[in-house]
Amino acid sequence: MFFGFIPGSVGEVSTFAILLGALILIATGVGSWKTMLSVFLGGLVAVLLVNSFAQNAMMEMPVYYHFLLGGFAFGAVFMATDPVTSARTEKGKWIFGFFIGLLAVAIRVFNPGYPEGMMLAILFMNAFAPLIDFYVIDANIKRRAKRAAAANAIQQQ
């Protein structure tokens, strides 16, 4: 599965080639390693949760199967890191990617009619990327305002 010796479409069979592409994207600064890593972390958490109460074969699949089969790795590397539609703040990239991984595994496991949920998870989270960035920036503004108010109070004394 890792080297692509199974039949399937281009983006889902050779995780090794996808990892080479990830290195190129990270080296050139086009793709965010934070988004890539957080997609896999979100997927890991989802698989561990689902495996804890497995009811069918899809729920019993080990973590590496979810990462190697289908378009999970391709989506995490090439689709989730799209600089136009993904989160732009550093903390937002972690949140954005984590929920993509979580949703992709949830869609894959809980909807037998739609076994590959990566693209749907990315599209869904693309709609929320501006909202994630808004709340991350808003939290930074509030934190800085508190710090400025505390500094002013100290200067007043």
95-120 tens-digit pLDDT: 999 999 999 999 988 887 777 889 99
Task: Find the DSSP H helices in the chain.
Answer: 10-13, 15-28, 33-52, 57-60, 63-68, 72-74, 90-110, 118-156
Read off the pLDDT band of 121 (50, 70, 90): very high
Contact predicate 72/43, CB 8 Å? yes
Provide the pLDDT for residue 73: 92
Contact predicate 56/48, CB 8 Å? no
Average pLDDT over residues 22-38: 95
Which is more confident, 43 or 69? 43
The predicted-structure confidence for 59-82, as pLDDT tens digits, reads as follows 888 898 888 887 899 999 999 999
**In sequence order, which residues have a C-beta less than 8 Å from that of residue 21 and are 6 or more positions away?**
77, 78
User: pTM for this one?
Assistant: 0.89
Nearest to residue 81, comparing CAs of 127, 131, 38?
Answer: 38
Provide the pLDDT for residue 113: 75
